[in-house]
Amino acid sequence: MNYMPGTASLIEDIDKKHLVLLRDGRTLIGFLRSIDQFANLVLHQTVERIHVGKKYGDIPRGIFIVRGENVVLLGEIDLEKESETVLQQVSIEEILEEQRSQQQAKQEAEKAKTQALKDRGLSIPRVDMLDEY
Amino acid sequence: MILLSLSYSKQYHLRELFYSFFKSLVGKDVVVELKNDLSICGTLHSVDQYLNIKLTDISVTDPEKYPHMLSVKNCFIRGSVVRYVQLPADEVDTQLLQDAARKEAMQQKQ
């Protein structure tokens, strides 16, 4: 039953398993329990999933209340597709270690880039951190 | 097109114009590029007044360096994170859209 036919509503997504992408790059997976007009969300049995390459690790987080402005997207998880995943689940310690080395490599590359730009008198501001509402 | 049936004087905001515009595109295939550089291809299912977009049958267009989307078929995208919505040219009457937008902008100025 659609309360407002034709409009994008999260009402039908309630109580389903969802993947939430946050603006800071984190991925949360949980059951959507509550919504509002700002896309504030309440997630139940939430797990923070960290992806590095083909591996991933889940950190149980309990109940999450996400402020709408931090939400990039909300995806309904298709349980069939999820069971056929090619990704390999690893332990939390392992994935955190992998993430650390990935962040390190990224930071070094970023540092080299900003230094090169600085040497030429340029700088690049980050756009994805703006919220225009 | 839905735009033709809505007289311009009934739309008070430029936002309403694009809301109507997207409503007329429901069912078409679009590519949404987000501010975090993620591009998602899918069928436009619905849109709301904030230009939040719901897509069905999605696929991540760029190389799958976003592996988390593999088990997701439908998604809701918050309007504030959209950078572009790419549409096939033949689905849009650009002349009509431009005229409507121009009229709205002039009305807003007054």
On whether residue A126 sits in a domain, the answer given is no
pLDDT reported for residue B8 = 45
Among the partner-chain residues B53, B54, B80, the one whose CB lies closest to the CB of A69 is: B80
- A34's tokens: 């509550």
B83 neighbourhood in chain A, CB within 8 Å: 127
Amino acid at A52: V
Nearest residue on chain B to A10, alpha-carbon basis: B76
Residue A127 lies in a domain: no
Structure tokens at A24: 């800071």
Q: Least CB-CB distance to A51: which of B48, B54, B68?
A: B68
**Residue of chain A with shortest Cα separation from B77:** A73
Q: What is the pLDDT of residues B68-89, one digit of tens each?
A: 888 899 999 999 999 999 998 8
Question: Using one digit for the tens of pLDDT, what is the confidence trace for A54-92?
Answer: 889 999 999 999 999 999 999 999 988 888 888 888 998
Q: Is residue A131 part of a domain?
A: no
Q: Has residue A39 got a pLDDT over 60?
A: yes
Across the interface, whether the CB atoms of A85 and B71 are under 8 A apart is answered yes
- Residue A128 resides in a domain: no
Residues of chain B in contact with residue A9, where contact means CB-CB under 8 angstroms, are: 46, 48
Is the pLDDT at B7 greater than 50? The verdict is no
Least CB–CB distance from A19: residue in B36, B53, B72: B72
* Any domain includes A69: yes
Average pLDDT value for chain B: 85
Please state, in angstroms and rounded to a whole number, the distance separating the CA atoms of residues A47 and A40. Answer: 18
Does this complex have an ipTM over 0.85? no
Nearest CA distance, A112 vs chain B (angstrom): 21
In this structure, what CATH number is given to the domain that contains residue A81? 2.30.30.100
pLDDT at residue B11 is higher than 90: no
User: Residues B20-36: what's their mean pLDDT?
Assistant: 93
- Provide the domain limits for residue A57: 6-120
Total number of domains constituting chain A? 1
Task: Examine residue A125 and state whether it is found in any structural domain, yes or no.
Answer: no
The pLDDT tens digits of the residues spanning A122-131 come to 887 776 666 6
Cross-chain Cβ contact A78/B73 below 8 Å: yes
Long-range contacts of A80-83 (CB under 8 A, 24+ apart): A81/B70, A81/B71, A81/B72, A81/B73, A82/B71
pLDDT score at B81: 95
